[in-house]
Structure 1
Amino acid sequence: MRYRIALSSALVVLLLGLVGSVSGPGWDPTPMTRTIEVETSDTAVGPPSAAADADAVGTYEVVESVVTVPLAGAEVEARIMEPLDAPGERPGVVFVHGAGTGRYDRAFVAQAEALASAGVVTMVPNKRLDTYSTRDRSYVTMANDYLRSVELLRDLPGVDPARVGVYGESEGAWVVPVMAADNDAVAFVVLVAAPVVPPRQQAAFAVDSYLRATGVPEDLLRAIPRMVGMDFPGGGFAYAEFDVQPFQQRMRQPVLLVYGTGDAAMPTVQGALQVIDDLQVARNDDWTVRYYAGADHGIKVDRRLVPAFARDLATWIQGLPATAGAAPRIAGDEPYQRYVAEPVDRPRWYAEGDLLVAGVVGALLAVVLGPVLWAVRRLRGTRERMLADGVRAPLVMVSAGAVTTLVALAAYLLVVANMAQNYRTNAWVVQGGWLGVRMAGVATVVAGVVLVFRVLDGRRRGAVPAARTAAGEWALAGAVGGSTMLLLLGAYFGVFPTLG
C-alpha cells in the first residue's frame, strides 16, 4: 500500500510539473550582446575649462518659494529654489517625478538644492494625482501638465527663458521625451535611470534582475511573464504598452543620460544605446552619457546624492551649448547588463487576470463548502456524519494542504519581492522558503492520492460509501475540485519540479 501511494504520488507530482511547464509562456530572456564603450572613468563634463567657467555647487545661498501652477481643471503647488544674488539671467530646470505620489518636499530635494547653489533656478512641482493611479495614467497628459510648470519657470524673473530644460527620473523619463518632442520651449533634457522600453517590458526586466540577484530557483523565473504579461484583473493598465521611442526620435535638444551602475532595475547598457540610436533618427548628435559607480536609481550611494553627479549636472547645464557634445561623450563606471529588456510573451486565455482570479475564488469557495455544510448541519442539530471515517482525514488534509500551498506561495513571493527590491539576499529564506512551499505542495498531493485510494478501495470492498449523505457528496466534490484547481495553479507558478 505504501509503495503504491509513493509511486502514484511521484507520478502525480511529475505530471503537475509537466502541466506547469507546458502551460506557458516560458521565460528565456535574450543575453545582451551589444556593448557600450566607456571612454574614461572620470565623469567630469567637457574640458577642464567647462568646470572652471561654471559656478560650482555651493557657490550661492539658496532661497525658496512656493508657487501655484494652474493646470487644466486643477492646480498644484511647486517649490522654486533660486541662487541668491546670482548675476544675470540664469538657466532653469523643471523636475519630473518618477512613480509614486511625487511631493516637492520629498523628491529631488538634494538635486534641486545642489543645482540652485550652483546658479541654476530649479522647480519641483507636486505631481497631479487626480488623473494618476495605479490602474490608469497617461504619460501624454502628464507631459502637458508638466509643461505648464515649464511655462511658469520661463516667465520667472531672473530666469533665461531660452535656457529652461527638464529633468526626468525613472517613470519621469517616459514623460520628458513627450514634453521635449518637437518643442523648442524645452532647451535641454536630462534623463536619469531611463527605462527606454515600454513599462511592461521594463517591469519584466526589473523583476528578472531582482530575482536573479536574490538567488531564487530557476523554476520560479517562469512566473515572470505569467504575472507581468497578463491582462490585469479588472482591466486598466493601458499605459503598460506605452512606447516612448517615437518621442525620443523627435528630441532635438541636448540630452544628458545618466545611470547608476548599482541600479539593477534599469537596462543601463541597452537604454543608453537606444537613446543614442533614437537621437540619430532626429539627426541629433548632442548627447552625453554618464555612469556613476554603485549608484542606485536616484544616483545615490547610501541614500546620499553622488557629489560628482551634482557637479557634472551643474557643469553640463551651465556650459550649454558648448557641453552638449563635448568629449568625453560616454564616461564613468563600466556598466553591465546581462539580458535584454524585450517584449513579454502573453499568457494563454485561461491564465489571463480575470479568469485567474475567478479560478482562485471559485476554488476557495469550493474548498470551504464542506466546512460550511458541516456547520449548518450542526446548527440544525444533525449529528449524522457526512463522510466515511477513512475518507474524512485525508480529505481535510488535501483541502488544508492546497490552501496552505497557495498561501505559502503568495507569502514567499511577497517576502522575496521585498528582499529583491532592497537588494538583500538570504539563502535560508530564498532556497529554504521555496523548498517549504514545494514540500507543502507534495504533501497535499500525497494526501490526495491517499484519498483516491481509500475511495476506490471502499468501492471495491462494497463498504460504506465515501459520502454518506447528499451534503457529504457536495463536500467531497467541492474539496476535491477546489483542491485540484489550487494545485494546478501552484503548478502554473512552478511549485512542482520538472524533469527538464
Structure 2
Amino acid sequence: MSSVSSKDQTEESPQAWSWSKRLTLSLPIFVILIALLSSVSNATAVPWNNDPIDQSIETVDSDTSVKFANPSKVTLAKRGTYSITERHATIDVKQKSTGDTQHIHILIREPKGASGKLPGVVFMHGAGYGTAEDSFGDVASDLSSAGFVSAVIDKPVWNTSDANRDYPASAKAYDQVIDYLRELENVDSSTVGIYATSESTWISSYLLQSDHKVAFQILLSPMVHSPRHSLGFLAAQDFAMVGANPGYQSIVRRLFSADLDLFGLHNLDIDTLKPAAYAIPTFVAYGSKDVMTAQVDGAQTIMKLAHEADNWNVTIRNYPLANHVLRLGDEAQTNTPLVDSYENDMVDWAVGITHDLKQTTQLVTGATIKQSIAVPFDLRSRPTLTVYMLVIHAASLIFILATMLMWIVALVRKTRALIRRDSGHVLGFTHGFGEILVLITGTTLATLVLFFSGLAQVVYAVVKLVWGGAPATAGMIYWSWPVIQIVSTLVVWAWSRVFARLIEVASMRGLLRMPTMALIRGLIGHRQTRAKPPGASKSEVQPVIAYTRFGKALFVNTTIAMFCVLLLFAFWGLFIY
C-alpha cells in the first residue's frame, strides 16, 4: 500500500482548533455583535427632559369651602335639601364619520318639590365604558338634592375602543343630552352645565368650542394636555414612583414616541388647548394622592387659557389624601368614599354660580399642589422609529412562531424514529450544533420571558398605584433590569461562540478559501470530501451543519429568530450600559 502525503493527511484528518484560537476568534465576533446591538439601542433612544422637577403651587388657605356674597339674601339650596326622584329616557346619537347609531339610556334625577326653572348638569364619563346606572350615582344625587336636574348617560362609544375613541363625535353626543335637558319644562336652558372627569376633559374641550351656551363646568382631575403628553407624563411619573429601573422608564419614551397616525389612530396629538374650553366659570378639583394628573402644569395652563378668554372665574381645590377620582383609598375596592368636604364644596360652588353670585373665598385653596416632573412637551411622533419597531417586533414574532413549529415537527420526527428504532439521521446535526442550538435558543427565549416578566411586574405595580394602592417596594422592579442586561450580554457571548464554531468547521472543510457565495452554499449545503462520516460510503457527502435539509433549515431559521430577539432587546434599550 502506498503511503499518503502529509497534505492528503491534513485534508482527510483536519485538526480541531485549540481553545485559545477559538477564544481569539470569539472575542472580535462578540465585540462586533455588542457594538451592533448597542448602536441600535442608542439609535432608538428618545431624549426626555424631566426638568423642572418637584414643582408646586402654594395655596393661600387650607380650607376648601366655597362661599358667595349674597346681598339679596337669596335662599341657596344645600346638598341634601331635596329628596330625589329618578326617571329614564332614551335618545339616539349618530357617529357622523361612520353613520353608526347608539341608543343611549339617560338616567335623570330631579329634586322633588323644587319649583320654578331649575339648573341642569350633564355628566361626562372618563376612561372605560360607564353606563347611566353604574356611574356618578353619588355626585349626581348630590347636585340633584341641591336643586339641579342631572343627566347621566351610557358612555357614547359606538364601535370604538379606548385607542380610537371619537372625541368630536362624543362631544356632539353629550351636546344632544344638554339640548335634551334645555328643552325640559322644569329646566332653565341658560343654566345647564357639565361635570367632566379625567379623559372626558378632552371631549369637553370640543364641546365648549361648539356650544357657547354651556353655563359652567366642573372638572375632576382634568387631563389638560394632549393624550401623548398627558399619558407620557403619567407613565413616566408612575414608573419612577414604584421604583422602576430607569431602563424600564426609557421604554415609556420609546412607546409614546410612536406615530399612530400610520395605523389610522389620530387621538394622541389632538389639540384641545383652546381658550374657548375654559371661557366659562370653572371648578377644578384635584387630589393630592393623584398619580395620574400633571396638576401644576395643568392648573397653570387652565388659568392661562381662561384668562386669554377673559374668564377670571376659575376655582381650584386640591384635596389631601384623595386619589385621581377624589376617592379615599383603593378605587379597586367597592364603595370607596369621596374625600371629605368635596361633595359640599362642589355643590355649593355650582349653586352659587347658577345664581350669578360673587365668590368671596379664595380661588386656589386646599393642599399644596405638587408635581414631581415636567410634562414631556418635547415628546413627538417619530415615524422612522415606529416603522422599525413594527418591523422588528413582527419579524421576531414570525420567526419565533416558525421556529416553534419546526421544533415541534423535529420532536415528532425524533419520537417517531425512536419508536421505530430507526438509526438513520433525523435532523442530522454535526459537530455538536444540535445540542448547542437547543441550549442557546432556550437561554435566549428564557431571557425574553425574563424581560417581559420584569416589565409585567412594573406595570402591575403602576396599576395598583393608579387605583390608589400604596407604592410597591422597588426590589426586583429595579434590579431585574441590570440582571436582564447581564444575561443578554452572556447570550450574545454564547452566540459569538456559535458563529466562531461555524467558522472553525468551515475552515476545517476548506470553505474559507472559496468566494463568498460559495462559502455560504458550503455552510448550509454539502461539500464533497474524502472524509467518511459514520455509516457513510466514500461516495457520500459530509455537511458542515447537518446531514438533512430540515436540520439545516431549522438551524438557519432558529438563528435568525434569536437574532431578531436580540434586536428586539436592543430596540428597548437593553444594550445601553
> What corresponds to 1:141 in structure 2?
169
Say if 1:211 and 1:151 are closer, same or farther in 2 by CA, change over 3 A. same
> What corresponds to 1:128 in structure 2?
156
CA distance in 2: counterparts of 1:460 and 1:87, whole angstroms: 98
Residues 1:89 and 2:117 are matched in the alignment: yes
> What corresponds to 1:252 in structure 2?
279
Residues 1:489 and 2:568 are matched in the alignment: yes
Mapping 1:65-464, distance limit 5 Å: 65-72=87-94, 73-181=101-209, 183-232=211-260, 235-246=263-274, 248-249=275-276, 251-302=278-329, 303-320=336-353, 322=356, 326-341=360-375, 342-347=377-382, 349=384, 351-352=386-387, 354-365=390-401, 367-368=403-404, 370-371=406-407, 374-375=410-411, 378=414, 383-423=425-465, 424-462=471-509
> What corresponds to 2:61 in structure 1?
40
1:256 is matched by which residue type in structure 2? F
CA contact (8 A) 1:405 1:440 kept: yes
SS at match of 2:57: coil
Residues 1:473 and 2:552 are matched in the alignment: yes
In structure 2, the gaps of 5 or more residues are 1-18, 95-100, 330-335, 466-470, 510-530, 532-542
Say if 1:345 and 1:136 are closer, same or farther in 2 by CA, change over 3 A. closer
**What is the CA-CA distance between 1:491 and the residue it aligns to?**
1.9
SS at match of 1:305: coil
CA distance in 1: counterparts of 2:410 and 2:40, whole angstroms: 34
Please list the CA deviations of residues 232-282 of structure 1 after superposition, one character each: whole Å capped at 9, or x if unmatched.
598132111111112x43543211122112111111011111111111221
Larger radius of gyration: 2
CA distance in 1: counterparts of 2:438 and 2:545, whole angstroms: 13
CA contact (8 A) 1:9 1:445 kept: no
Mapping 1:45-56, distance limit 5 Å: 45-47=66-68, 54-56=76-78
> What corresponds to 1:23 in structure 2?
44
1:160 is matched by which residue type in structure 2? D
CA contact (8 A) 1:91 1:317 kept: no
**What is the CA-CA distance between 1:448 and the residue it aligns to?**
1.3
SS at match of 1:317: helix
CA distance in 1: counterparts of 2:90 and 2:476, whole angstroms: 49
CA distance in 1: counterparts of 2:257 and 2:268, whole angstroms: 10
Which 10-residue stretch deviates more, 68-77 or 214-223?
68-77
**What is the CA-CA distance between 1:313 and the residue it aligns to?**
0.8
CA distance in 1: counterparts of 2:137 and 2:360, whole angstroms: 28
CA distance in 2: counterparts of 1:22 and 1:264, whole angstroms: 31
> What corresponds to 2:521 in structure 1?
none
Which 10-residue stretch deviates more, 8-17 or 255-264?
8-17
CA distance in 2: counterparts of 1:145 and 1:135, whole angstroms: 19
CA distance in 2: counterparts of 1:29 and 1:397, whole angstroms: 42
In structure 1, the gaps of 5 or more residues are none
CA contact (8 A) 2:66 2:359 kept: no
CA contact (8 A) 1:360 1:486 kept: yes
Which 10-residue stretch deviates more, 237-246 or 114-123?
114-123
**What is the CA-CA distance between 1:90 and the residue it aligns to?**
2.5
**What is the CA-CA distance between 1:172 and the residue it aligns to?**
0.6
CA distance in 2: counterparts of 1:361 and 1:191, whole angstroms: 43
CA contact (8 A) 1:363 1:486 kept: no
Please list the CA deviations of residues 276-325 of structure 1 after superposition, one character each: whole Å capped at 9, or x if unmatched.
11112211112111111121111111231123111111011100155566
CA contact (8 A) 1:24 1:347 kept: no
SS at match of 1:101: coil
CA contact (8 A) 1:398 1:445 kept: no
CA distance in 2: counterparts of 1:224 and 1:431, whole angstroms: 15
Q: % of aligned pairs identical?
A: 24
CA distance in 1: counterparts of 2:126 and 2:245, whole angstroms: 31
CA distance in 2: counterparts of 1:357 and 1:323, whole angstroms: 59
Say if 1:199 and 1:155 are closer, same or farther in 2 by CA, change over 3 A. same
CA distance in 2: counterparts of 1:9 and 1:324, whole angstroms: 76
Say if 1:202 and 1:18 are closer, same or farther in 2 by CA, change over 3 A. same
CA contact (8 A) 2:278 2:302 kept: no
| TM-score after normalising by structure 2 | 0.78
